[in-house]
Every structure is written in C-alpha cells, then in structure tokens.
Copies of this chain bind each other. A is one copy, B any other.
Amino acid sequence: MKKTLLFTLMILIMQLTYAQTKKITGFYKDNIAGEFTTESSFDSNISTDSIGKLDKKLSDEPHSLGSPADKEKTQYILSLFRRWGWDADIETFYVLFPTPKTRLLEMTSPVKYKAVLKEPALKEDATSGQKGQLPTYNAYSADGDVTAQLVYVNYGLPEDYEVLDRMGISVKGKIVIARYGRSWRGIKPKVAQEHGAVGCLIYSDPEDDGYFQGDIYPKGSYRNEYGVQRGSVVDMSGYYPGDPLTPGIGATKDAKRLNRNEAPSLLKIPVLPISYHDAAPLLKALDGPVVPVSWHGGLPFAYHFGPGKATVHLKLEFNWDLVPCYDVIAKIEGAKYPDEWVLRGNHEDAWVNGAGDPISGQATLLEEARSIGLMLKKGWRPDRTIIYCAWDGEEPGLLGSTEWVEEHLKELQEKAVVYINTDANGRGFLFAQGSPTLETLVDEISKQVVDPQTGVSVFDRRRAHDAINARTSKQKEEILNRKKMEMGALGSGSDYSSFVQHAGIPSLNLGYGGEDGSGAYHSIYDSYDLYTRFIDPGFVYCATLAKTIGHAVLRMAGADILPFDYSNLYKTASDYSEQVMNLLESSRENTMVENMLINTGSYAAGDDPTKGYIEPKVKKEVPFLDFAPLQNALQKLNGSVDNLERQFKDNLESGNAPAGFNRLLYRGEQELLAGDGLPRRPWYRNILYAPGYYTGYGVKTLPGIREAIEQRNWDEAQQQIKVDAEVLEKLAGYLRQQAVSSR
C-alpha cells in the first residue's frame, strides 16, 4: 500500500468513527437529542465512590445461597431499591442446595498424604479469616466413599480420553484427577463418569491458574498454592440449569418436585476441587508413562498418567437441603408502554465474599438503579417498564434467574423486550455477547462510551488492543479495518441462560476485563482487598460498565422503534450454517485421512514400539448430508429481513411506526425456539445457540446440527438440519406476515 493511500485510509477510518459517535438507531429524528440528554443526565449521577462503597458493603462477609448473610444482603438490596424510588419486592424460591458435611481426601499409597482442603487467612486480606465461609467443594457432587488408583486425565475433555485410549489406559473403577480449564468444570466429572471413573478430583494447575500467570496472592493477584476454585458441577449443559428438582417450572414452595435420585442433572460420583498444594503430592506419586508435553502443567516434576501405586481415598457427604432463594425484583413502570419490559440483572450470591464475582457487577447494577432513581425524582419516566433483578443462587446453577424465568415464562414471552446481564467486572476491554439482533445497539454504545484509562471510545480501545495483539499482519489489518463491535454468541455461565435459551428473550451479556488477571475466582480471596488492589482500582471500569449498560437500558426503554437488527441475525445464522457445512466437510476429510493412516499401517510403523500404543480404530466414512432445506430457509429469511429492514427505515423516517411493529421486533427471537427443543435436552429450545454438551459454558451455534456432526450421529444431523430449517422458515414467515399485518 502506498503512503498516500495509507493516509487516506486512516482519515477515512477517523471520519467514520467520528460520524458513528453521534449515531443512535431507533429514535425519531426529533427525539435523538432528548435521548442523549437523558443519557448524560444518567451518566452524571454515576459515582465510582458510591460503587466502591456498595462493593465493600456487599462483600463484607461470606454470603452464599441459603446463608443468613445472603438473606441480609438481599434485604439490604431491597431496601436500597425502595429508597431510590423503585417498586421492589423479593420473590422466594426453594431450591436444592447441598453443602459439605464430610470432606476427606487422602493418599493411602505409595506414601500417606492427607489433603489440607483449606485456604488460609492472610493478614493482607481483611475478610479472609471470617466465619461463615463455605468450605472448598463442588456443589452437587454425589455423596461417596471411594478408594481407588489415581489417573491423571489432563483437562478431562473427551479428546483427552482419546489420548488415554491410545495409551491403553482405562479410568474404569479409578479416581481421576483433572486440571481446571478448557471446559466448564462440570464437564470433567461428567466425562469421567461416562468413562467409568468412580471419583473425580479437579485441581488448579499453576500453569493455568497460578504462578505461570504472575505473582501469587498476596504478592500479586494470582492463585496461591492453597487457593481452591469452588463451583457447581450440576449438569446444566446436559439437561437444564436451575433447581435440579423442578425442571421447567418455578421452584415455588408447593411446586411438584422430583425425588433427588430421579434428578437427571445430578452426578453419580463424588467430586472435589483441590489446590495445587494438595494436588502436587498426588501427581508426583503417579507412575505409568510420562504424559505428552501438552499435558504437562506447571508443577516442578514430570507428570505421569498413572494408574499404578498411587491410590487415594475420597469421602464426601453433603447436607442435601432445600434452601430459600431470594430474588430481588425492582420495577419502574413505563409511561407509554408499561407492558413492554426492559430487564437487567446480575446475581448477588457469592461462593464466599465475592467482591469481584458477583459484587462488582451487582454494585454496578445498583449504581445504575440509584442514578435512575435520581432521574425519577427529577420527574423523568421511562417509556417502557424497567425491571432490575438481583438474582440469588447463581453460583450453584443459575437458580434464582432460572426459577424466575420458568415461573413467569408466559408473561415474559409476552412482555420482555430484552434481558441485559452482567457478572464480575474488571479493568480492560469491553466484551459483549448476545443476540445478533442487538449488535447495532451495542456497537453504537461502544463508540460513545469513553474508556477511563485512555480517553478513546471503548470500541476503539478494544479494536486497538485486538489489533496490536493479533498474531499475523493480515489479522492485524483486518481488525484495524473492523467497522463494528463484534459480539459473540451466548453460551452459559451466567443468568442470561434461561432468558435466551429457554424463553427466547433477546439477551446481552456485557462487561470489561483483560487487564485484571487474578486467581481469586471462587475462593476466599475474591475480596474487597484483592479487588481494589488488582482488579479495578478506583472502580473506574465499574463506572464505565454502569454507563454502558445504563445507555443500553435507557435506549431500549425509550426507543421509538426498538433497534433490533434482523439483517445481522440473518448474516449470523448464515455464517453458522456455513460453519456446520464446513465442519461436515472437515470431518469427512479427517476421517478419510485417519482411515488411510490406519489402513496403510502408518500407526504400526510410526508409533514408538516401546510405548505400548493402541492403534486407533477405522471409523465409518462421513456421508454427505442434504443442507438444501437450511439454505432454502436462509434464502427466505433473507427476503423477509430485507423487507423488514425497508419497513424499519420507512417507519423511522416517517416518524410514525404502526402499532405492533415494536412487538413484532422484540418477539422475533422466540421464533427461534424449536417446539421439541434440542435432542435429549428439551429445556434448551433456541436453535441458534446453546451451551455445548461437552463444553459447558462454551457456546455451540446451531447446536442441534453441530453437535450431531461432532458426535458422528449422521441421522440426527440430517434430522436437525430439517428442524432448524423449519424454525428459520417459521421466523421468516413471522417477520414477513407480521410486518405486513402491522402496516
């Protein structure tokens, strides 16, 4: 590229960026200035000091679900909402929540070792020695008392078991030890159980979560040798989130409940998370072959697969209690459209103190609510109803939000315009996941909110960061030329799940991070002290998040025409469709080549004969599938969307949208729900995205088709192509028909 061309391009980019800082879709021309004024007024109330005080107050003691402190916190949050002029109440559910009664882990051979299972208090961390901390455990582990040989399974993913298969190592009847990372934690015991293991340990390896990342706490923020990641292992992605005993319905006092032994999402084997201090002697005692380098973690000895002399005894017993789950729900009724709801939520329950997770997000949410309260007092009223939710019981399995959505499903599907979620927040770069129809909204806001450290827009900062850290020049250039804030799809891991995947409510999950690395996650060290030293000193990114979310809430509450971007939905679905077609092709190619390697004796000739490798088995060839239904449906959707876009533009320009046009827009995502849901997990109904069956938090797009291909279930893949095509045709029909009728 010539120098002159380069500069022309730069100027063009700068001009575009400037033009976009003034862009706001969804408001009639005459109302744009007013919306900016409203948002400025909102911003002027946001105070880092106020957020900091809220964070300190709400994280001042351990407050896990069901604890007295948790109840107190929800009462306090309720009182705040009410003080600020919101119509607030607590809605209570009753959910299964096990807490530890017995936790014993010991190595019985080749040497004795009794695991510590305890994070020590630190003088540098004021709350780390408090009473009321939940011990280190994985919620919804089974009770169990097992003694067995130990096998190291790396991250415990399905592909790790393929490596074990090649080595001829079975985990049947064994206890596995897996390291945290690369999947949601609940996947590890689930896959271990599928392979016949009788118990599972999950530990934080210092390569992934410890001194490899930086100085350990309290010198730095990274996980120290005793730090343990608590967390749920209920099989949310395989069945459903929420209370394990009340799938699909609200866990009200009198709800019909499953017996505990009928609940499909509960594991059958005991699982315990441990520190690298406790893992080290166990791993060191393993014999058997040395692992491949990619399996080696950060502990200072050679890792081995086992099994062998290393034998461990794991005994776990839990109190299987039904506990109250307090959702704080606060409303401001809309002046124009009271039956159109803009929802926004963040959980408040923590594994321990949770100054970062979830209180940084909860304090941000409350600061937004305080600002809106101040605006109310000055006489402002939103056009649509705004509902703020402080969820309880997120940590054990999105309990509070899921039960609430299930309980209010019908009304939500009538009224909910959008659900906007946050969770732990920190210093760094804007990240955004959500329904593709909301990309324009997020894009425009990202170009208007200013990064507190650099003074550029949070869009520009994110783009600059991505560009300078991309691997290749080609990627750097592409990122630098990026015109829009890119949004990922929603998987699981926070309270948006039931909204988008079960109810079909357009949803967003936003936050800042990337310069806030720490190892405090789900430990007693997720404290105000650590947060203010390392995660977001001065709470400036919480304030930035409050503005980001506040603008989104206010725009959705005040838009003349809701800024849903269906052309981006079409584009996204179309991309996903291409991806699954490519996945089938690469699966065919991989199978063909792998079979050729086996058939030509390449494994027999190429393997190290001293290692006892087992040759992989020839796989059935991958058939060709008929993607035409999907392609035809997308073609129809494209037509409908083009038509809708024209109407959108016309309505916006005329300043006179027909009644029902907004309802058409916000209820479109519900058309993405399939009646029968996804195969074997009917609770998940959105055909466009779901948490991966074998990733947990990680999203799978067009999951019905994609996972069938990944699992080599070709008949199901073909059947899911048809299902997804029908759903997309349904959406295309909905958008066309409704749009016409709403003229």
Q: Given the interface contacts A473-B586, A515-B610, A596-B6, does A211 sit within 8 Å of B602 by beta carbon? A: no
Within 8 Å by CB of A597, from B1, B301, B467, B603, lies B467
Within 8 Å by CB of A298, from B9, B216, B300, B597, lies B300
The segment out of A93-101, A453-461, A659-667 that lies at the interface is A453-461
B-facing mask of A456-477, CB < 8 A → 1, else 0? 1000110111111100011011
A121 at the interface (CB under 8 A from B): no
Within 8 Å by CB of A602, from B464, B590, B596, B597, lies B464
A614 at the interface (CB under 8 A from B): no
Q: Across the two chains, which residue of chain B brings its CB closest to A587?
A: B473
Q: Is the CB of B605 within 8 A of A302?
A: no
Contacts of A597 in B (CB 8 A): 464, 467-468, 476, 480
A290 at the interface (CB under 8 A from B): yes
Q: Is the CB of A216 within 8 A of B464?
A: no
Q: Is the CB of A602 within 8 A of B467?
A: yes
A259 at the interface (CB under 8 A from B): no
CB distance from A336 to the nearest CB of B (A): 39
Within 8 Å by CB of A464, from B301, B473, B601, lies B601
CA A474 to CA B211, docked complex, whole Å:
37
Q: Is the CB of B211 within 8 A of A621?
A: no
CB distance from A563 to the nearest CB of B (A): 26
A191 at the interface (CB under 8 A from B): no
Contacts of A473 in B (CB 8 A): 586, 589-590, 592-594
Interface residues of A in 1-33 (CB under 8 A from B): 1, 3, 6, 9-10, 13
CA A12 to CA B39, docked complex, whole Å:
73
CB distance from A159 to the nearest CB of B (A): 14
CA A600 to CA B222, docked complex, whole Å:
34
Q: Is the CB of B215 within 8 A of A606?
A: no
Q: Is the CB of B596 within 8 A of A480?
A: yes
CB distance from A661 to the nearest CB of B (A): 39
CB distance from A713 to the nearest CB of B (A): 21
CA A517 to CA B303, docked complex, whole Å:
16
A102 at the interface (CB under 8 A from B): no
Q: Is the CB of A214 within 8 A of B290?
A: yes
Contacts of A9 in B (CB 8 A): 596
Contacts of A468 in B (CB 8 A): 597, 602-603, 606-607
CA A586 to CA B302, docked complex, whole Å:
40
Contacts of A607 in B (CB 8 A): 465, 468
- Interchain Cβ contacts under 8 Å between A and B, 28 examples: A3-B621, A6-B595, A9-B596, A10-B596, A211-B300, A212-B293, A212-B302, A213-B302, A215-B290, A215-B302, A298-B298, A454-B605, A454-B609, A461-B605, A463-B602, A464-B600, A464-B605, A467-B606, A468-B603, A469-B606, A473-B586, A473-B590, A473-B592, A474-B589, A476-B593, A477-B593, A480-B597, A480-B600
Closest 8 CB pairs of A and B: A464-B606, A464-B605, A465-B606, A464-B602, A473-B593, A214-B290, A300-B300, A211-B302
- B-binding residues in A (CB < 8 A): 1, 3, 6, 9-10, 13, 206, 211-216, 220, 222, 290, 293, 296, 298-302, 428, 451, 453-454, 456, 460-461, 463-469, 473-474, 476-477, 480, 515, 586, 589-590, 592-597, 599-610, 621
